[in-house]
Structure 1
Amino acid sequence: MSGALLNVQGLRVAFGDKEVVHGIDFDIAPGEKLALVGESGSGKTVTALSLLRLAQNAQLSGRASFAGEGGEAARDLLQIPERQLRGIRGKEIAMIFQEPMTALNALYPVGDQIAEVLELHQGMSARDAHQAAVQLLADTGIPEPARRARAFPHQLSGGQRQRAMIAMALACKPRLLLADEPTTALDVTVRAQILDLLAELQRKHGMAVLLITHDLNLVRRFADRVAVMENGHIVEHGVVASVFDAPQHPYTRKLIDSRPTRDVASVAVDPQAQPVLEAAGLRVSYPVPRPGIRGWFSSGEFVAVQGADFRIVPGETLGVVGESGSGKSTLALAALGLLKHQGRLDVAGRQWAAGGRSDRALRRLMQVVFQDPFSSLSPRMTVEQIVGEGLTVHAPGLDPRARRERALTALADVGLAESQFPALLDRYPHEFSGGQRQRLAIARALIVDPKLLVLDEPTSALDVTIQKQVLGLLQRLQRERGLSYLLITHDVEVIRAMAHQVIVMKDGAILESGAVERVLDAPEHPYTQKLVAAAECR
């Protein structure tokens, strides 16, 4: 394409004898925003990394012509010497990585890491580079930038770390920014802030952006053009409005149709029915050290959950929505009897005790499905050991054969059958995809016949198509088994699809609660309005 800032032709990427990107073509004009969309494993990220030759042990072929400045000839990023490419990385082409906690160096303050880029590419003195780093942090909206510049990555919130990554990427005013899932791990309101920030900085500096994402809402709101990638091929591309309004390829239609859909049975309101879980005045606090000499004699208190009231009846889903730090997960841990709490918390009419056999019976009634199935499943245990583990505690009288049959039944209930996966029970978690691992986690919870599942962000780590499958599975299990769910999430779309009742939390307090249709369609509290508005941005 004449006048393109970047023109990629026939890009192929292989690792050993396995080719993962199959001769793709695309281009980006100066100042343009192009989104590369697809599920995990489609080749999006390895494509972006290959442009800067950052994909280790990759064999690259094709051409990636990057226009020169001031009449200079275009350079082929795949062929130029490493020394020349090193001068382009960070200066002319910068990259925002998906997970800033691993991309930032944990041993250095973020200001020093930004200043290093300026010293290397701009030849600034250490003092000038530090001052410029503070200004860059201020430009990205970080409060108290001088103090934050001295902070280490672990001392910043997720949104602040992402802003620091953006400040580092924009330090040298690059002409092309590669943004790899820049908002995936962020809350919905912070996600909107980062998106607005990127758009503002893009307009201010006139840079082009290649956005790598599977978030279609983000693409609608941010990009000019979109290229859809499946199994290493670009299957469709064009102007965002045209592709989204009239998708031509079946895979594109599949992605667009993957928004969560509501398919839950209504629950009859019976004030006399015994709730599966009920809380009144639930309060959770942690001791914190006091500053100065007062800390020698007493500690302070941080209140994570403040006087929460709620009830869940059989077959009902209560959604808990809020940003990180709102108290959602603390509330879930207290409900599971894993945190000391004040107030009343009843499970099927009984209170948590201090442990022992009485609590063991309640633990069978309440099981949990965690956010990340890869980290919540032991890599050293087989599927049979993982799924059947609960029976060794709650049904110790079963013999090995009976436990094995119960495990196979639970796996079949979540869509994992031996006919599909030979030697299923002898496999390990790494042999399954992300969605299949989450099904294993659900089977592990279901095998002891619980009354309530605590779902802690059960789909946030999954692609949109897999998310829809897992939500459909949970909806089916609820209808068939009469299960109740305590659903913890920051995704308003998931709440709409799954919940009967919803509570909105911020800073440990419940700001608004009620039927999901009323709260989300006509929110009363400004914070709820902010959450809903951020989720509905297109």
Structure 2
Amino acid sequence: MNLSTVLLQVEQLRVSFDGKDVVQGVDFMIRAGEKLALVGESGSGKTITALSLLGLAQGARTSGAAHFATASGAVDLLALSEQQLRGIRGQDIAMVFQEPMTALNPLFTIGEQIAEVLQEKQAVSRAEAAQMAINLIADTGIDDPARRAGAYPHQLSGGQRQRAMIAMALALACSPRLLLADEPTTALDVSVRQQILDLLAELQVRKGMAILLITHDLHLVRRFADRVAVMERGHIVEQGSVSEVFAAPQHRYTRELLDSLPVRDVAPLLPDAPLVLELAGVGVDYPVARPGWRGWFSRGRFAAVQQVGVQLRRGETLGVVGESGSGKSTLALAALGLVPYAGDVRVGGVAWTGRSRTDVSLRKKVQVVFQDPFSSLSPRLTVDELVGEGLDVHCPGISREQRQQRVVDALATVGITETQFPGMLERYPHQFSGGQRQRLAIARALVLEPEVLVLDEPTSALDVTLAQQVLRLLQGLQKAKGLSYLLITHDVAVVEAMAHRVVVMHQGRAVETGLISDVFSAPQHPYTAKLLAASR
């Protein structure tokens, strides 16, 4: 084996927990300066593969070989002791973890956390480490690095936190030969995602390092990687250059992943379809602390939504697209009557009053499906209790048998039946997969037979195949029941697949509105053009 060009050669890697193999004899290699993407859905074993190379998969038993070319010669990563691996992790290999909010310590500033690594690894003084931390933060493109070094993780945006994680990885291994990036753009907006990709590509060239990118995002792979390895259930089923694999996939699973991209399937809107939801001149603001001594006596106001007007007709999907902080979720809360607002919001011609007893009839007409079904469904309630909870409030007069039948019918509508899931009504959310939990959340909304569903990022927490299944379900429900959707998302592909019309939100304002075909083919606002360019 010649490691003059091969940086890492993995041979027959097996990883098991409690005797069960989760990675089953995988082989792949990374050349010096190359970008390899390891692609697969949740549970495929891709993250465990990367963690096992650095001895970070706690409780795992590994076998096989992982020959890595260090500056002083080739070593087998799997045969090294923990002390030897610490030297590799501190010099040659760095890792960027998936969720920076959980990987960063909330009790210390970003600068303190990076400086701590520098002091440990490079034996520099506290003052030197603080300045080096600021320099590393600047290297990742964060504006005003000296001030940001004094910020805590919660005071940074998602993109800034991810950049801080990259800075910490560079602090851990100042000139890494290999960077392992585990889902570095998950949950980021499309333009921020592109910025992180551009940053990684720039750092790769500047530092001459290779990158192993772990992801389930095929669009990201197409734009970023040189080669791709596709992983399914612990096996690498296909690998090759990105152009070859994407143009002519050989394995069934690779074809499934590529075919799981959202497909447009929208029923034409009836010309006389009545209005079911109207927002006119809607504004929402929140109190914020004022800087300096003025904050002792009064609070300022932050305008989250400013003078937005939209209409939604029966059987129509209106996509509200924008980045985090654009105001789209706040607009959805106003449509649901859940936050105080200025302007006018009407459901079927009737305005919210802000009084729960008066608004109860409107709440039955407008239901919501949240982004993360695992956190939106109570883990302490059974499926029967979760799905039927709304009936207890809105239909207290129905019998127990009628209630249970409506719950069963709602579950059957979303494809969950007793035949497929014996004892389903007594099960709890954790006993279902991510896609199945999202179906439960949809059934919970449908059981009241609403006219409008507010869909808040309904697929962003799902793998591509599960997301495609949920989108198809929603498309079919709209055709069968004439439902109207207010679709909140930052995913342009989902809007293109689902929506009749689109509203583009930026800094609290609706900067562009119109038919999907018009807005996405010829955007009039620069922000819309930027959003579309970053997503393609």
Aligned to 1:173: 175
Give, in angstroms, the shift of residue 436 of structure 1: 0.3
The one-letter code matched in structure 1 to 2:377 is: L
CA distance in 2, matches of 1:98, 1:511: 32
CA distance in 1, matches of 2:301, 2:100: 30
The one-letter code matched in structure 2 to 1:463 is: D
CA distance in 2, matches of 1:413, 1:260: 21
Contact 1:90 1:117 in 2 (8 A): no
Q: Deviations over 1:306-329 (max 9, x none)?
A: 011110010001100000000011
Q: 1:397 and 1:168, CA in 2 relative to 1: closer, same or farther beyond 3 A? A: same
Asked if residue 315 in structure 1 is aligned to residue 315 in structure 2, the reply is yes
Q: How many residues align?
A: 532
Give, in angstroms, the shift of residue 448 of structure 1: 0.3
Aligned to 1:490: 490
Contact 2:70 2:92 in 1 (8 A): no
Partner of 1:307, secondary structure, is strand
Q: Deviations over 1:34-76 (max 9, x none)?
A: 100000000000101111111111111111111121xx33211
CA distance in 2, matches of 1:190, 1:215: 15
The one-letter code matched in structure 2 to 1:277 is: L
Query: What TM-score comes out, normalization by structure 2 length?
Result: 0.98
Asked if residue 304 in structure 1 is aligned to residue 339 in structure 2, the reply is no
CA distance in 1, matches of 2:376, 2:289: 31
Give, in angstroms, the shift of residue 268 of structure 1: 2.5
Aligned to 1:76: 76
Q: Deviations over 1:122-175 (max 9, x none)?
A: 222221121111111111110110011111111111000000001111221211
The one-letter code matched in structure 2 to 1:369 is: V
1:82-481 correspondence to structure 2 within 5 Å: 82-171=82-171, 172-270=174-272, 274-481=274-481
Runs of 4+ in 1 over 6 A off after TM superposition: none
CA distance in 2, matches of 1:458, 1:91: 41
Partner of 1:74, secondary structure, is strand
Contact 1:11 1:25 in 2 (8 A): yes
Give, in angstroms, the shift of residue 297 of structure 1: 4.3
Contact 2:190 2:323 in 1 (8 A): yes
Structure 1's unaligned 5+ residue stretches are: none
CA distance in 2, matches of 1:150, 1:468: 42
Q: Deviations over 1:91-127 (max 9, x none)?
A: 2111000000001111111112112222222222221
The one-letter code matched in structure 2 to 1:51 is: L
CA distance in 2, matches of 1:297, 1:73: 65
Moved more, 252-261 or 164-173: 164-173
Partner of 1:345, secondary structure, is strand
Give, in angstroms, the shift of residue 525 of structure 1: 0.3
Give, in angstroms, the shift of residue 246 of structure 1: 0.5
CA distance in 2, matches of 1:368, 1:449: 12
CA distance in 2, matches of 1:90, 1:469: 43
Contact 1:6 1:27 in 2 (8 A): yes
Give, in angstroms, the shift of residue 243 of structure 1: 0.6
CA distance in 2, matches of 1:242, 1:92: 30
Structure 2's unaligned 5+ residue stretches are: none
Give, in angstroms, the shift of residue 293 of structure 1: 4.2
Which residue among 52, 55, 78 is the counterpart of 2:54?
Answer: 52
Query: What TM-score comes out, normalization by structure 1 length?
Result: 0.97
Moved more, 31-40 or 398-407: 398-407
CA distance in 2, matches of 1:451, 1:268: 16
The one-letter code matched in structure 1 to 2:57 is: A
Aligned to 2:15: 13
Partner of 2:523, secondary structure, is coil
Partner of 1:5, secondary structure, is strand
Q: Deviations over 1:162-221 (max 9, x none)?
A: 000011112212111000000011100000010001001101101011000001111111
Give, in angstroms, the shift of residue 337 of structure 1: 0.7
CA distance in 1, matches of 2:397, 2:178: 64
Aligned to 1:499: 499
Aligned to 1:524: 524
